[in-house]
Structure 1
């Protein structure tokens, strides 16, 4: 008997899926990489301008280096003969005439005599100072001095003068004998004192001056108008000197009341300084006058030498007539003048990416001088920061007229200065 057989049916097995193609994955990676590179490049392109610091602002000065006081320059009425020089203290020279040849200066010499005495023996205002006694020999010389026609004050042996009184005798009635007495009192001898006079002249830069005596009687004592102005400016800085030369009279031992030979004192603001006259020198005058300008006192200093005349009265009259127009011209010329006005542009400021502002004067600047005078203008502007507010103080402008003191004023900014934004920097770079 046959066993029955079991029949097994097998299900067909599906084939495996085909493998993914590696090319599709590579393409995706390539596209992604390119996208990343593009994004990175764009980022780098945008950030690049921000990696570098902004350039510093450039400041360009627009104010001139010099300016001229407007108006017609003064015409100085110089004397037709001799020499003259005219100066305004703290401002400058109005000029000279007659050249620089050294000439006799007569009793103008006594300005140096008094200056040396006061430098060696200073006096305060009103102070009498030490005493000196006239010796028998000095008193005995008086008759011979008088016979020569010298300018003198009477003295006697044993007469006592204070330093101030002796200087008054020298500077007001122009006493030759007291100039010699003072010289010997200070230096031990007239000769030694004259050495001091010449040494002082050299120190002051009086290049064309030479002294041979303390009175000026000797015609070999010579100088120039320019040199005498140098000395006069220094002498007027001494309080006692300025006090004495401004006096119209004084009371002295033996002589009593003496008058100042300088008849201009008290007229046209004249406050000194010293007359001189000899046949060789002619009429001479070193002078000072004080005028008020803009609420302040200004001193005019000048010298006129070599005015002709047959005798002392004529010589002095002519030197006075030559001097008064000089004083009046200088006084009329001096004024206070605006040289920089509030708001005047001084500089421009150019910042990065077309940012800009201006710098201007914050106030008026006034100088003392006369029309036609040159004025130097100096500007100091600190480095400009990235941010600068409007109307902020920033720098200084200084004006100097002639020999005057500097006059300074603040500078201010115009519109506000700000650095460009990041977006502006990026956009400008595109």
Structure 2
């Protein structure tokens, strides 16, 4: 037999280097982290997108067609604010300051009532007249101005003097009112100057309370704004609407406004001065579209009374057709835009018309209030659009779907997307 074979021991298993193990582990962790991160990016909830209101484009409406009085040197009209809006006014002709004549009495009354208001139906303060008031009466007679007979010690009320001044145009009554209110004519002049300065009436000067002095001047723009202030004062408006007034020693004195009661004219003040001519302020009210509307008119520098009245009537009648109900926001008007960070966008539109009462092209503006929407949101109601005056609103909805961010945008904007988790 041959020699027995010797058994060989198995080779020892080779061991993996620890560094390789570490690298492999890190790779697995990185792959898991990458998958987790990608999943987080792909499923991150997109934030709601806020709507940005667009700038309101003014409605294009027709301008007023005004019959300006060619026989006058200057004129103006004003419209009392509609539905809480501002007063609208416009002047024409000479912009210079001209004698106010007795229309100055209207300004004086406003100055006095600013310092000494009359509340409600009160007759105001009780005033005891004296020798100065009797002397003022004599001066008015010399100026050939209307008067209210007075005597030393006579007691009258503040409203008596206002009514005699504005209805009968009594020159001494307005002097007594101003003298009582401010102590003397210097005090009145200072108060009048402060009042005109405060209200920005740069062309208006009261050299005397009655307008008998040709240096008591104003312009059509100033007087138009003053007329709007006059009708806004309940005491003044109620006074200039009186058809007549009772004056002791005279009886019933009619309103000097000859066209009171015609063409819806319900108030006003006349003025005449030989060196200038005639001025006329009136106010009228008429129902338009179921709403009462008030206008004022100023005509300056006419000659004959009939000419003055006709000019004013023509001016006022030309204003009424400019009152109308107009559509300010049409259905489908874009009122807001939604722009998402990932580039998707949609618009919010009005779904119903927004109408307003207007005068000529004085269209109110509008503003929209919209809520944020979610990514992928289908067209839906998001808010409302409202006019700047009045309480009229229309609903607003989005016009199209807001597309969500796609996977590629999410991955290429991963840091921003991951930040959504913390918003």
Instruction: Give the TM-score normalised by structure 2.
Output: 0.81
Task: Determine if the alignment matches structure 1 residue 15 to structure 2 residue 10.
Answer: no
Q: Which of 248, 271, 289 matches 1:276?
A: 271
1:389-424 Cα distance to aligned partner (Å, 9 max, x none): 853443x54445xxxx46663653327968849xx6
Tell me which moved more, 94-103 or 152-161.
152-161
Contact 1:359 1:412 (C-alpha < 8 Å) held by counterparts: yes
Cα shift at 1:335: 1.8
The answer to whether the aligner puts 1:328 opposite 2:317 as a matched pair is yes
CA contact (8 A) 2:136 2:176 kept: no
Task: Report how many aligned residue pairs link the two structures.
Answer: 406
Decide which moves more: 195-204 or 100-109.
Answer: 195-204
Can you give the 5+ residue segments of structure 2 that lack an aligned partner in the other structure? 413-423
Structure 2 counterpart of 1:337, from 326, 343, 347: 326
Separation in 2, partners of 1:157, 1:33: 117
Contact 1:264–1:320 (Cα < 8 Å) also in 2: yes
- After the TM superposition, list the runs of 4 or more consecutive aligned residues in structure 1 that deviate by more than 6 angstroms: 23-26, 28-35, 415-419
User: How many Å apart are 1:221 and its aligned residue?
Assistant: 0.8
Match of 2:63 in 1: 73
Q: Aligned with 2:319: secondary structure? A: helix
Q: Is the 1:68–1:371 contact (alpha carbons within 8 Å) kept by the matching residues of 2?
A: no
Question: Against the structure 1 CA distance between its residues 133 and 352, is the aligned structure 2 distance closer, same or farther, given a 3 Å change threshold?
Answer: closer
Deviation at 1:67, TM superposition (A): 2.1
Which residue does the alignment assign to 2:416?
none
Equivalent residues in 2 for 1:207-222, closer than 5 Å: 207-222=202-217
Whether the 8 Å CA contact 1:204–1:230 is kept in 2: the answer is no
Which consecutive residues of structure 1, in runs of 5 or more, have no partner in the other structure? 1-8
The 1-side partners of 2:372 and 2:398 are apart by 16
Question: Between Structure 1 and Structure 2, whose CA radius of gyration is higher?
Answer: 1
Provide Cα deviations, 1:126-171, integer angstroms capped at 9, x if missing partner. 3222222333453365455324321222334443322222111100
Q: Which moved more, 1:250-259 or 1:36-45?
A: 36-45
- Where 1:66 maps in the other structure, the secondary structure is coil
- State which drifts further: 168-177 or 75-84: 75-84
Question: Do residues 412 (structure 1) and 396 (structure 2) align?
Answer: yes
Do 2:193 and 2:206's aligned partners in 1 also have CA atoms closer than 8 Å? yes
What secondary structure, in the 3-state scheme, does the structure 2 residue paired with 1:101 have?
coil
1:67-106 equivalence runs, <5 A: 67-70=58-61, 72-80=62-70, 81-90=72-81, 91-106=86-101
Per the alignment, residue 184 of structure 2 pairs with 189
Please tell me whether the aligned partners of residues 78 and 84 of structure 1 are also in contact (alpha carbons under 8 angstroms): yes
1:371 and 1:115 mapped to 2: Cα distance?
29
Which of 250, 254, 257 is the equivalent residue of 1:255? Answer: 250
RMSD: 3.8
